[in-house]
Amino acid sequence: MKNLGDKSDNQLSQSLMGHSLFISDLHLCASRPHITTVFLDFLKDTASQASALYILGDLFEYWAGDDDIQDVHHQPIISAFKHLADAGTKLYLMHGNRDFLISSEFCDAAGMTLLPDPSLINLHGKTVLLSHGDDLCTDDVEYQKFRLQVRTAKWQEDFLKLPLQVRKNQIETIRMRSEHEKSQKSMQIMDVNQAAVEHLLTIHHYPEMLIHGHTHRPHEHKIQLDGHNLTRWVLGDWYEQGSYLRCDQFGCKVLSLLQE
């Protein structure tokens, strides 16, 4: 006969089994149809084998509001997510700096759970902190000012009242200004700030791993902090190829779709 002890043992072994995938910075858009095709194949062939898929921001080149879910480029992506979720893969989405206007209408249609940034999870028995990563780029003062402004509820409420096409036009203006300003900033300014990383890890009680994207500089960083050995995984973008992090109870490794 089963007792409560058996149940929690069972739940623990369930969480240790299987594997999870992490991706970010796909920047999907109608003008790069090849990457959308690669991504739809990834969902069908690779993510369908995983117990969970975590998308850590910037899934889209930009997101102007959930009233854009009917767009012909967005529809097949949303349907593919829903199909995957219905087949049993858990789907988690975190906002990036380009798609933070994704809301519940999109998530419900796609069968996804929206995660706050940062989020602490239990990943196959390990404590792992997830973030998009832009909040850690504290040396990029101009960007942080912009971020503070557009992440307020009031600003978003006012912006979303504008007609969809007006929002898209304003976003185009910001993208052009952002590209120009980025060309004037050093690589160091646009990277994460080490003290910000260490502060985040400390206030979350030294999780074994931090996984984030945004900087498009994929790497496994080993960190020693207050006597703890931690790992910071940086995910790659999907401009040239699909790269993803695969984690199970034995550890994590970066894989590329071109290697398969």
Residue ranges in contact with ligand LP5 by CB under 6 A: 62, 97-98, 101, 134, 137, 140, 142-143, 146, 150, 159, 170-171, 173-175, 177-178, 181-182, 185, 190
| 32-40, 53-61, 121-129, 173-181 -> range binding Mn ion (CB under 5 A) | 53-61
Least gap, CB of 200 to ligand LP5 (angstroms): 16
Only one residue has tokens 């087949």, namely 87
- Rounded to the nearest angstrom, the gap between the alpha carbon of residue 206 and the centroid of all alpha carbons in its chain is 21
Q: Select 97 or 131, whichever has its Cβ closest to Mn ion.
A: 97
Among 20, 36, 89, 97, contact with Mn ion (rule: CB under 5 A): 97
- How far apart, in whole angstroms, are the C-alpha atoms of residue 235 and residue 18? 21
Of 41-49, 61-69, 121-129, 211-219: span binding Mn ion (CB under 5 A): 211-219
Stretch that binds Mn ion, among 56-64, 70-78, 103-111, 136-144 (CB under 5 A): 56-64
| Number of residues that this document lists for the chain | 260
Tell me how far, at minimum, the Cβ of 214 lies from Mn ion, in Å. 4
Closer residue to ligand LP5, CB minimum distance, 2 or 145 = 145
> What minimum distance in Å lies between the beta carbon of 192 and ligand LP5?
9
Applying CB under 5 A, which of residues 42, 65, 96, 200 lies at the interface with Mn ion? Answer: 96
Residue closer to ligand LP5, measured from CB, 50 or 55: 55
**CA 70 to chain centroid:** 22
242 makes contact with Mn ion (CB under 5 A): no
Segment 108-116 long-range contacts (CB within 8 Å, at least 24 positions apart) = 109/69, 109/78, 109/82, 110/77, 110/78, 110/81, 110/82, 110/85, 111/81, 111/82, 111/84, 111/85, 111/86, 112/81, 112/85, 115/54
Cα(130)–Cα(143) distance, integer angstroms: 21
Kindly state the tokens that stand for 143.
């960007």
Closest approach of ligand LP5 to the CB of residue 122, in Å: 29
Using the contact rule CB under 5 A, the part of the chain among 45-53, 96-104, 115-123, 146-154 near Mn ion is 96-104
Q: How far is the CB of 135 from Mn ion (least distance, A)?
A: 10
The reply on whether position 27 binds Mn ion by CB under 5 A is: no
**Exposure class string for 17-28: b at 16+ Cβ within 10 A, else e:** eebbbbbbbbbb
Range list of β-strands (E), the chain: 20-23, 52-55, 90-94, 113-115, 119-123, 126-130, 209-212, 219-225, 228-234, 243-248, 251-256
31 φ, ψ (degrees, to nearest 5): -80, -5
Residues that bind Mn ion in the complex, under the rule CB under 5 A: 58, 96-97, 214
